[in-house]
Structure 1
Amino acid sequence: MTGEYRLTVPRDFLCPITREIMEDPVVLIEDGRSYELYAIERWLRDNNTSPMTNKPLTDRRYIPNFNLKNAIEEFCAQQELISATNRFLSFNIHYGRIPTEWEEKPMLKIRISLLGGSNVGKTTLARYLQYGEKANFVHLRSTSTIGPDLIFFYLDQLYEDRYVIIIQLTDIPGMERYESCCDNHFRSCHGALLITDSTDIDTLERIELYWYEQLHTKGKEHVETTLVCNKIDLFEENCDDTYRSIYLERAEHFSSSHSMTICHVSALRGDNIQVMFKQLILRILQNKTLLKQITTNNDLIYDTSSTKKDKMQKTSTIQLLNSRTSRQIDISRNSPINCCKYF
């Protein structure tokens, strides 16, 4: 036990002899105090006095303290939950395959959509999350996104010390003629980043009048959203005070009127990208309705994959038996012994 941990432990949970939290507490009948079982046994082998009062004992009997034991176990379970939560809060987002040792663990998939018009920086933002500072050296297409791009990430900490968290990031095309292919992503996402170009106030208006309305109409009722003001580097360098004041006031009004988090980022420099995603992921996991949907979907996926696996195993077994049978038939037909018997 660390000193920091002991500060949170009720005094009654600590054995007076060992000063450690008890695992098997017993009550010494004569002095009415609780001790760790092995500690009081060792004490009574060498002493005939109470460890607390130092008075001679006329009755050396002790009995289990089940109520205290249950209280300690409940406290330890709560501490472990807090510890697991604190470990999870230090997670980072990684691109690529999950570690081999996690492949058999249950997985929860969180779907996040990038929403916004063309040229607001959705793809640049996704690539920065994917490649980090190396994103500037990665060759990117110069054309606009013409279909939903899917990028998968994972968190490097287990949720509740059990679940692997997979993030499906969907870069939805911002051009109007591709809107019909986005409906499914509105309906299925758990979180959405509404991305605007800070240097172009029309992109904020497009978020207000179209993207948010589409998400609200077609998406989940409890989807978590963040208003992302991208290109803050150009906003600070190239925009005058009047424009900045108007843009910021309008963005704040829109986000506050919809109880939405607002985040100022630079997808090019990487400012606040990781923080923004972490906050959104944590809000999704803290949303009981969304977490229930994610967990339910995970169970369905697990059942489906198990069924497919069983079918594949059965199919492979049948194929193996059939191949063995066919080989036996071929052998029997070509065998000299069987040929002699046949003739």
Structure 2
Amino acid sequence: MTSQDTLSVPHDFICPITREIMQNPVLLIEDGHSYELYAIEHWLQSHNSSPITNKPLDDRRFVNNFNLKNAIQEYCTRQKTILSSNQFLTFNIRYSRVPIAWNNKPKLNIRLSLLGSSNTGKTTLSRYLQCGLQSNFVHTNSSVTIGPDLHFFYLDQLYDDQYVITIQLSDIPGMERFESCCDSHFRNCHGAFLITDSTDIDTLERIELHWYKQLQLKGKEHVESILVCNKIDIFEDNCDDNYRKIFLERAEYFASLHDMPICHTSALRGDNIQFMFKQLIIRILQNESLLQQIKENSSMYNKSLFRSEPISPTSSIQVLLKSSSRQNDYNSSSSGDCCLFA
């Protein structure tokens, strides 16, 4: 840690001579102050006074200050953890392959689901995450989802300085006749976006009466959720004050009742889409029980890859030989049959 980083460091952790945080603090017995070992040794080579009081020293001895050293080490470890966490929180969601340099790093796979009625904009939200600012193209080319669509992303920052975070996003069809194919996505997801159309209060009621209940019934015990009020651009322009008041009060009541955040988005303009994904991912990683499940599942998956039997390099030759042998047997049998019927 350099001098420019010492503004928030406790004063006792900084060497009075170097003005930097100490690594090997020693206590100068006579003046009662601690210094960096190499700094006080160099000082005493050319001075016979205290670096702080400038008074002559009768006793030039010093001893290791182990208590201070332990305190500094604990502080530096804590600061490193905070710095790492803050750096991770600047992550972006990427729609591409994981960098080759990360291929050998452990991976944590987070499964997210988009839940809600048809025409709430679920598909447009997921495609906006892929296409970014090309929202007009995405919006005009969206179609009704008739089966779970899967999209894969990764975070461009390592979690805990070691884990690659991959995201599997399931876009669940909102029409009732397709709901039977969604059970596995309820059971396996770690986080869910409960999508409503802000201009249609019936979609919020459907979240309350069906989607959230199904998630609680079939999903994981500690699954995280966010209530997403989509189409906020139309809501602001086309809905009257009375409707807006009723919708917002009902949405806030539902969210507070189930201890989940609300996110207002516009799939057309791209408002808050990156934010809502980041918020849910962070909530999942801060959920200790859920994070432990993710780590265990990822560990089991990685072990299963290592246990898989390698393909024998001669297997293709063996297959060809067996195929040739069968063909010869067939030819012999065929020629025999011809003789019988001759």
TM-score with structure 2 setting the length: 0.87
CA distance in 2, matches of 1:194, 1:46: 72
CA distance in 1, matches of 2:194, 2:119: 13
Matched to 1:147, the amino acid is: G
The alpha carbon displacement at 1:81 in A equals 0.6
The alpha carbon displacement at 1:262 in A equals 1.2
Q: Cα RMSD between the aligned structures?
A: 2.1
* Higher deviation after alignment, 201-210 or 248-257: 248-257
Determine helix, strand or coil for the equivalent of 1:225: strand
CA distance in 2, matches of 1:194, 1:251: 11
The alpha carbon displacement at 1:250 in A equals 1.8
Q: What does 1:2-151 correspond to in 2, within 5 Å?
A: 5-138=5-138, 143-151=143-151
1:236 paired residue number: 236
Determine helix, strand or coil for the equivalent of 1:147: coil
% same residue: 67
CA distance in 1, matches of 2:60, 2:116: 77
CA distance in 2, matches of 1:12, 1:234: 58
The alpha carbon displacement at 1:78 in A equals 0.5
- The 1:319/1:36 distance shift into structure 2, 3 A limit, reads farther
* Higher deviation after alignment, 138-147 or 202-211: 138-147
Q: What does 1:202-213 correspond to in 2, within 5 Å?
A: 202-213=202-213
CA distance in 1, matches of 2:29, 2:238: 80
Determine helix, strand or coil for the equivalent of 1:214: helix
The alpha carbon displacement at 1:68 in A equals 1.4
TM-score with structure 1 setting the length: 0.87
The alpha carbon displacement at 1:141 in A equals 5.9
The alpha carbon displacement at 1:28 in A equals 2.1
Any unmatched runs of 5+ in structure 2? 322-342
CA distance in 2, matches of 1:268, 1:193: 18
Determine helix, strand or coil for the equivalent of 1:229: strand
The alpha carbon displacement at 1:64 in A equals 1.8
Matched to 1:114, the amino acid is: L
Matched to 1:270, the amino acid is: G
Any unmatched runs of 5+ in structure 1? 327-343
CA distance in 2, matches of 1:29, 1:245: 71
2:287 paired residue number: 287
The alpha carbon displacement at 1:281 in A equals 1.1
- The 1:260/1:101 distance shift into structure 2, 3 A limit, reads same
* Higher deviation after alignment, 231-240 or 189-198: 231-240
The alpha carbon displacement at 1:247 in A equals 1.8
2:198 paired residue number: 198
Tell me the matched-pair count. Answer: 318
